[in-house]
Structure 1
């Protein structure tokens, strides 16, 4: 099991570190995994600093996070944050949306996959295929072989095969053993599906390709998915319409459990604020339900902010009290009262307590109401920048931390929440290269030191590893 920690350092830079690469003996129940995680939290001394836990959609993870939530609640570590303590991996949700629906193309996918395997088994076949490609003056791209359990690589395989659809039948003419040519109707199906899944692929690239795919980057793309599903649910193609309706049902199921963290993350992004919520929610929920959902999000936002306000002032409880000035005024008032008593004997006007209170109330009424950090932030305009620009959102909050001391701390916590388990999965894949047939006898401690040490050293020197998708495509 891989445990990856995400945090904002003192320079307001988002960091991630592999905390544990550990052996968890079976059975892999939610309780056993929760107990293992609790042990590692205590070992690292972060048991009281956990803000959220991001996991994939396996059923045992639901039980694990439920157990951890109960433990944290007993220690009064959770309140409003309980609403987004459990974060479901958005990459897995996308996979669930798409994977089952690709089964409608299972025949043509198998045909293309087996055809590519057949060609890859012989260098002579590949050379002949490339020769036909050159004769047709097609781009000299390579065929991609997919991984059946990863829909985005299957999409790439189909998209690349479309580039060679005229080559397949010509190669069949010169190789009697090649029986993997889709029909014209099947190619049309591939074209429709690739157009449909193109946006899903782009969002997956955005999540998997980002060093730190955090809560603020996903809502702005997620509503586009729902918009596309609504559009394709009315498509003239029965196949596309059926796929869209099935995917929309799954979208509604999983979105309900992730909307809070994604919405709050988007609000503390100065490019979006509440404007994105007002724009996206009617598309996701429909006009009638959107108003209720927007009110719920705003209420949670203010409740969370108020918790940070309470924490801020309780942490500054040791500072010199501001009431020392008031006590001084009180002493002056007492001496003034004695003077006024003497003045009364002289027959001069007397300032009674009632009149003094009335003057105090009048001054309060004249003074403008003090606004919170959150009120000021929301009322100000969005940070305007080009849609393709990559704004360093944490850097923006770093620059505004003196103006918004409390809200900036809340924003940094929300912006450190990862929306995928990509970081852990890439480390787990690296573990497969460390533990091979020739090094299978290494102790658990040695394996953990190798994986954790490698990760920390790479981060120390700014060395980035190639993503899993890049490796698959390259191979």
Structure 2
């Protein structure tokens, strides 16, 4: 075996394989793989890979190399280095546009190991914002409708007033202040409570809002009319009662068809028929006609072509069977103006 002084450094992987009597690797494959994965040229005289990051302290010295192309992060240019001073491989060229346009950053994701109250949420948010010096750079804040978030914003609004503006909460002279509302509740002998809001993304929210509101209509009438003039009249409450009556069937159908402890598929056609009959009858009401017509169009869009699964479940119900299914289709056709004879034949076969 040769002495160490006779060995020429550095030994390559192929030299070791040849010395061991094994077949060497194909240099072309090595070059191709290195070019694809590392973005460097490993031909003779090229730069050796610096495992220490090129920061000194034991790194392998670089030999003269063939110039290669590097892509900076967040730039359309394919030359240069990244914003962190690191050279970037050509394989990332396709991602330049994403790096340039996408500017979302999660700067703080702090765990709240105690109660998620408004005070604790506000404390964590304020700590992150102060840590990154963003107090005077907050443009808007997006939250869901949790009550703890609303309480947190009551604390944070004063801190972020530089961009968010003044505290929007009512001052003592504002008649909408909760203190004055409580006085009216106590004077009317009604227990104070919170009311739900009408939300576009929550089913039956309008119905639930009106249902809880109508029992307090006298309190609201006295409170609003005494501070804002004659804003609420009996006609307004009449319209609210009509809307509550109109929406009640949709709420009941949602509750029944959302059950989990009983089969709901046999009940679908029952409620489709009830809703179709309800919309057909309300079309004649002058107060509801404007909202019933688009609702009926939407209803027909989804339920004019009834899925056969619900028809089979309806037929297998001992209360309905095939005769009840035939009668149901006849009534549904009268309410919607649709023809279901061919659909009945398909269901039978």
Q: Please identify which structure carries the higher strand content.
A: 1
TM bracket, shorter-chain basis:
0.3 to 0.5
Larger Rg: 2
TM, length-normalised to structure 1:
0.32
* Greater relative contact order, per chain length (Cα 8 Å cut-off, separation 6+): 1
> Normalised by the size of structure 2, how large is the TM-score?
0.43
